[in-house]
């Protein structure tokens, strides 16, 4: 039992590090699909390679890990006390790159939605969030 949990946690961490088709991404995708939204994934021709693209809604969604993308005021974004010199500049770069990507997308007419990993704790609330954000965007 303990072993299983560890293994699960390990693969979860691995998938997060690789950054594609992570568990949160799969959850959000299946949620959107069940809500009737149709989308494309990982469009390489868009800045930042958004996780989900909804052309009909002119909206892109990034599903961001709270730590890697430094979710403000989120306790999952706490930087480890050791190796701060390593983490702070590294995470700052990620955040800056995110900002640039979002700006580029917005100036191309896309609405950018960010779903934070911690928002997956409350699936019902996340559904409402997505529905509200997307409905106003429908072309
Ligand atoms: Zn968070």
Q: How would you label 50-74 residue by residue, b for 16+ Cβ within 10 Å and e otherwise?
A: bbbbbeebebbbbbbbbbbbbbeee
From first to last of the 139 residues of the chain, give the pLDDT tens digit.
Answer: 444 455 555 555 544 544 556 689 999 999 999 999 999 988 889 999 999 999 999 999 999 999 999 999 999 999 988 889 999 999 999 999 999 999 999 999 999 999 999 999 999 999 999 999 998 888 7
Q: What global pTM score does this model have? A: 0.81
User: What is the residue extent of each domain of the chain?
Assistant: 25-135
| All residues with CB under 5 Å from ion ligand 1 | 66, 71, 74, 76, 116, 118
**Separation of 118 CA from ligand 1 center, angstroms?**
4
User: What is the reported pLDDT for 48?
Assistant: 94
pLDDT at 1: 42
| pLDDT given for residue 7 in this prediction | 55
Q: How far is the CA of 45 from the centre of ligand 1 (A)?
A: 28
CATH superfamily of 25-135: VSR Endonuclease (3.40.960.10)
**Both structure tokens of 43:** 């469009």
Q: Cα(76) to centroid of ligand 1, in Å? A: 6
Number of Cβ atoms within 10 Å of the Cβ of 117: 23
How close is the Cα of 73 to the center of ligand 1, in Å? Answer: 8
CA of 10 to the centre of ligand 1 (A): 20
Two structure tokens written together for 61:
């969604």
Given this model, what pLDDT does residue 56 score? 93
Question: Pick from 113, 114, 123, 108: which is nearest to 47 by CA?
Answer: 108
């Amino acid at each position: 039992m303990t072993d299983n949990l560890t293994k699960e946690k390990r693969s979860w961490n691995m998938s997060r590090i690789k950054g594609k088709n992570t568990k949160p991404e799969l959850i959000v995708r299946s949620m959107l699909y069940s809500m009737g939204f149709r989308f494309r994934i990982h469009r390489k021709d868009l800045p930042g390679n958004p996780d989900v693209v909804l052309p009909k809604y002119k909206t892109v969604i990034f599903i961001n890990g709270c730590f890697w993308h430094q979710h403000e005021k989120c306790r999952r974004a706490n930087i480890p006390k050791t190796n701060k010199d390593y983490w702070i500049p590294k995470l700052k770069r990620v955040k800056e790159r995110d900002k640039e990507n979002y700006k580029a997308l917005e100036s191309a007419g896309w609405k950018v939605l960010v779903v934070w990993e911690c928002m997956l704790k409350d699936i019902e609330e996340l559904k409402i969030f997505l529905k509200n954000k997307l409905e106003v965007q429908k072309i």
